């Protein structure tokens, strides 16, 4: 069946379910902290803290390469093919990582889980975001939140399952990658098989889709045109800083729960799973909020709350307080990913959303590389969590200033648009 050979209406909600299934499988990457701790303690590996975070860091760094290519390809070839290729490549990398069995073969984890899976993840990730914006011009914030919500929930099930698989052979935690990789392959193929763009001339009754979203209308930018605006760089900077703040904790979540709040290894794995719920929920909650209070006010809250909670977190020796603060950070981290696709649509239109937002996700890779490296380096062997999280938190709070100067381009904001509405600046 061709991508455009579909009947509009209820089918678009089936696509939401399919997108969630794909995103759930690739979102399992956020369970890495469970593996990182296991590799540090395994007799066959015993890697350093910096080495244990390297596969995850490489994964996030490679995502941009995948999203850049995936965004351009899906605009040209349609979403199904690109999503299937991405799911296969991602799963193949996870399976390859399972063949590591000692410190001498740890490079297989970096290559498989990091380079290959990161690239496949990027290919698959961008597709449902761009596709569903075209199917749901009437629910931009909500639907982009849902489109990436499954990604945030991926670690919910993976964390305890991964810990159970690791506990079966704690000296060789890489063994857990094989069954997980097979499961991811099945899930991603099922979800991606439904993907397709809306038919030519598709409209939603009662919605004016004359080129804009959420009350904006006007020019649909090409990727090149978007790159010639200061807004593209400001939005990318906001995404980078939001990612860097949240992922600094995510990369050290299990260790932080153990060292700061006194959780056991099993308890920390459970905490990571619980926190992943907030990562997923944040993508939906904040994206929906942004439909009502505006995109930039939403990002101001996201950055500010992350910063304050990171500064307080190292002092949260109480387990309940630790989980509350970490939950807010995860909620805000997910919120950045849920809100930014709709923001990019407001600023540049959705016609070329795959290419424009796919390139913007360089912010994910930059923040995803710098955040964990800064966190692990500052924490070090002395477990200096106060220094690490205070520095990162202060940067996040200062970043709120960017939201006050970032406005929708004039040719995307008609004179009749109230600037306090979604997409209308601040």
What would the two tokens of residue 209 be? 């889709």
To the nearest whole percent, how much of the chain has pLDDT over 90? 43
Question: Given this model, what pLDDT does residue 46 score?
Answer: 78
User: Is residue 104 domain-resident?
Assistant: yes
> Tokens standing for 2?
């061709």
Reduced 3-state DSSP string for the chain: CCCCCCCCCCHHHHHHHHHHHHHHHHHHHHHHHHHHHHHHHCCCCCCCHHHHHHHHHHHHHHHHHHHHHHHHHHHHHCHHHHHHHHHHHHHHHHHHHCCCCCHHHCHHHHHHHHHHHHHHHHHHHHHHHHHHHHHCCCCHHHHHHHHHHHHHHHHHHHHHHHHHHHHHCCCCHHHHHHHHHHHHHHHHHHHHCCCCCCCCCCCCCCCCCCCCCCCCCCCCCCHHHHHCCHHHHHHHHHHHHHHHHHHHHHCCHHHHHHHHHCCCHHHHHHHHHHHHHHHHHHHHHHHHHHHHHCHHHHHHHHHHHHHHHHHHHHHCCCHHHHHHHHHHHHHHHHHHHHHHHHHHHHHHCCCCHHHHHHHHCHHHHHHHHHHHHHHHHHHCCCCCHHHHHHHHHHHHHHHHHHHHCCCCCHHHCCCCCCCCCCCCCC
Question: Where does the pLDDT of residue 92 fall: very low under 50, low under 70, confident under 90, or very high at 90 and above?
Answer: very high
Q: pLDDT at position 213, please? A: 40
Residue 425: the pLDDT is: 39
Assign 207 a pLDDT band (cuts: 50, 70, 90): low
Model confidence over 164-181: pLDDT tens digits?
999 898 888 999 999 999
Residue 423 lies in a domain: no
Q: Is residue 277 part of a domain?
A: yes
**pLDDT (tens digit, 9 = 90+) per residue, 359-415?**
898 898 889 889 988 998 899 878 899 999 999 999 999 999 999 999 998 877 654
The separation between CA 30 and the C-alpha centre of its own chain, rounded to angstroms, equals 9
pLDDT at 423 over 50: no
Least confident of 208-212, 248-252, 387-391, 401-405: 208-212
Count of domains forming the chain: 1
**Tokens found for residue 384:** 């200096």
99-109 residue pLDDT tens: 998 888 999 99
pLDDT at 182: 96
> Domain limits at 341?
11-200+213-412
Average pLDDT over residues 127-133: 85
CB atoms within 10 A of CB 401: 10
The answer to whether position 417 is within a domain reads no
181 domain-assigned: yes
**CA–CA dist 199, 9 (Å, integer):** 11
Whether 21 is in a domain gets the answer yes
Average pLDDT along the chain: 85
**pLDDT tens digits for range 286-313:** 988 998 899 999 999 999 999 999 999 9
Q: Is residue 66 part of a domain?
A: yes
Which CATH number does the domain housing residue 161 bear?
Answer: 1.20.1250.20
R_g (Cα) of the chain, nearest Å:
20
pLDDT of 266: 81
Residue 96 has pLDDT above 90, yes or no: yes
Are the C-beta atoms of residues 339 and 425 closer than 8 Å to each other? no
Residue 149: what pLDDT?
A: 78
Percentage of the chain with pLDDT > 70? 91
pLDDT of 3 > 70? The answer is no
Which pLDDT band holds residue 130 (cuts at 50, 70, 90)? Answer: confident
pLDDT for 424 equals 41
Structure-token match 């924490």, residue found: 379
pLDDT in tens, 311-336: 999 999 899 999 999 999 999 999 99
Task: Specify the pLDDT at position 248.
Answer: 93
Structural domain includes residue 98: yes
Read off the pLDDT band of 422 (50, 70, 90): very low
Report pTM.
0.76
Q: How confident is the model at residue 226 (pLDDT cuts 50, 70, 90)?
A: very high
Closest by CA position to 353, among listed 363, 340, 372: 340
In this prediction, residue 151 carries a pLDDT of: 80
How far is it, in rounded angstroms, from Cα 150 to Cα 37?
A: 25
């Amino acid at each position: 069946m061709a991508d455009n050979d579909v009947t509009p209406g209820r089918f678009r909600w089936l696509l939401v379910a399919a997108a969630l299934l794909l995103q759930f499988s690739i979102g399992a990457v956020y369970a890495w902290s469970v593996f990182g701790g296991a590799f540090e303690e395994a007799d066959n590996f015993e890697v350093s803290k910096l080495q244990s975070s390297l596969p995850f860091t490489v994964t996030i760094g490679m995502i941009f390469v995948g999203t850049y290519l995936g965004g351009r390809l899906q605009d040209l070839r349609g979403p199904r093919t690109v999503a299937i290729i991405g799911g296969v490549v991602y799963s193949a990398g996870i399976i390859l990582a399972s063949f590591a069995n000692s410190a001498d073969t740890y490079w297989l984890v970096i290559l498989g889980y990091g380079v290959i899976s990161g690239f496949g993840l990027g290919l698959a990730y961008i597709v449902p975001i761009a596709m569903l914006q075209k199917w749901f011009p009437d629910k931009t914030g909500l639907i982009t939140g849902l489109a990436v919500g499954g990604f945030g929930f991926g670690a919910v099930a993976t964390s305890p399952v991964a810990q159970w698989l690791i506990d079966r052979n704690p000296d060789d935690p890489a063994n857990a990658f094989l069954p997980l990789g097979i499961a991811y392959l099945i899930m991603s193929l099922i979800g991606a098989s439904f993907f397709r763009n809306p038919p030519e001339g598709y409209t939603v009754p009662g919605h004016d889709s004359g080129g804009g979203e959420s009350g904006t209308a006007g020019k649909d930018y090409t990727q090149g045109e978007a790159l010639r605006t200061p807004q593209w760089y400001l939005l990318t900077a906001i995404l980078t800083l939001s990612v860097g703040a949240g992922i600094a904790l995510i990369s050290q979540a299990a260790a932080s729960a153990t060292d700061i709040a006194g959780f056991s290894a099993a308890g920390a794995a459970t905490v990571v799973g619980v926190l992943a719920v907030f990562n997923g929920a944040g993508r939906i909650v904040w994206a929906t909020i942004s439909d009502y209070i505006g995109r930039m006010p939403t990002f101001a809250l996201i950055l500010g709350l992350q910063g304050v909670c990171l500064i307080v977190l190292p002092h949260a020796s109480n387990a309940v307080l630790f989980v509350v603060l970490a939950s807010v950070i995860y909620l805000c981290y997910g919120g950045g990913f849920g809100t930014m696709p709709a923001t990019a649509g407001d600023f540049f239109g959705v016609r070329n959303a795959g290419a424009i937002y796919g390139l913007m996700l360089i912010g994910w890779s930059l923040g995803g590389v710098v955040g964990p490296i800064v966190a692990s380096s500052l924490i070090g062997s002395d477990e200096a969590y106060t220094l690490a999280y205070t520095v990162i938190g202060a940067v996040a709070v200062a970043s709120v200033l960017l939201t006050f100067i970032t406005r929708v381009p004039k040719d995307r904001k008609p004179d009749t648009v109230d600037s306090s509405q979604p997409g209308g600046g601040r």
